[in-house]
Amino acid sequence: MVVLNTSCNVGAQKSDADNNNTIDGNRYIPFNSASKTIHVFVALCDNKYQGIVPAPAKIGNGQDAETNLYWGGLWGVRTFFNKSREWQLLKSYNIDTLILQRLIYKHKTANFYLVADAYNGKYIKRCTADFLNSCAGKSKDTLTVNNTIGINGNAKLLAYIGHDGLMDFKLNDEYMNVDRQQRDAIILACISQQYFAPYMRSSNTRPLVWTTGLMCPEAYTLHDALSAYVKGDNATIVRKQAAMAYAKYQHCGDKAALDLLVSGVN
């Protein structure tokens, strides 16, 4: 049986500060650069506030991370990574009405941390902007876990998971790179190559995996792409691993998945 697919219809509010750290633009905060960070921005599936084909009410409530399709659901980020043999959950906590929950994981063999933020689905525009500001190096932050690690623009890889809100709204920023650093990105959202390409160019971000068509951005695709990434594999292998995971769970065939999930800027 094919895994539930939530497709797009083609057609903000500022958070409180984290108790320990604030997103503060370009102010330099020392952190342990030997520990690499992957920062994942998840816009929760939201029937009410997003232009999507409606999901069942329980998993399409963007104000409830616990049961949301992209977070606490069967193949959501929290559920999938909590069960992973590769990642260990270090901390889970709620932040505010914008970022409903944050998860911090440590890879069991590589010196990588993964920080995943569940954004209230109502604020998908803010989630998208936070992702792009991080890609451009405009938003940088740190977290203290076992040591101080970099997040947002201090992360090595940035990922966006959810509905492609750029189909529904426009952003009033070009997201030009401000620090001459190139970051990697994974964008699992419908037709993300087309809609995010201008921002990937302006922010000097290298897209390892993004999409050419409609897709379901569940966590297995991200997980297996990261399995290759933390080993130091190149973009070709990262993209292939992502596609093979998508083909496995969606039963769509390897070729279809490879056509859907691509790498690089045209």
Model confidence, pTM: 0.91
Q: Cα separation of 133 and 116, whole Å?
A: 16
Nearest to 246 by CA among 236, 261, 235: 261
Say whether 131 sits in a helix, a strand or coil. Answer: helix
The terminus-to-terminus CA distance of the chain in angstroms comes to: 34
Please tell me which residue, 38 or 29, carries the higher pLDDT value.
Answer: 38
Nearest to 253 by CA among 243, 263, 262: 243
Q: Cα separation of 137 and 154, whole Å?
A: 8
Q: What would the pLDDT profile of 54-67 be if each residue is shown by its tens digit? A: 999 999 999 999 99
Q: Cα separation of 102 and 65, whole Å?
A: 10
Q: What would the pLDDT profile of 93-106 be if each residue is shown by its tens digit? A: 999 999 999 999 99
The reported pLDDT for the residue numbered 19 is 31
Q: Which residue carries 């496995």 as its tokens? A: 248
Other Cβ atoms closer than 10 A to 19: 8
Q: Cα separation of 234 and 106, whole Å?
A: 21
pLDDT score of 24 more than 90 = no
C-alpha 102 chain-centroid distance? 12
Q: What would the pLDDT profile of 208-255 be if each residue is shown by its tens digit? A: 999 999 999 999 999 999 999 999 999 999 999 999 999 999 999 999
Tokens (6 digits) for 179:
């620090």
Interior/surface letters 52-72, b for 16+ CB within 10 angstroms, e for the rest? beebeeebbbbebbebbbbbb
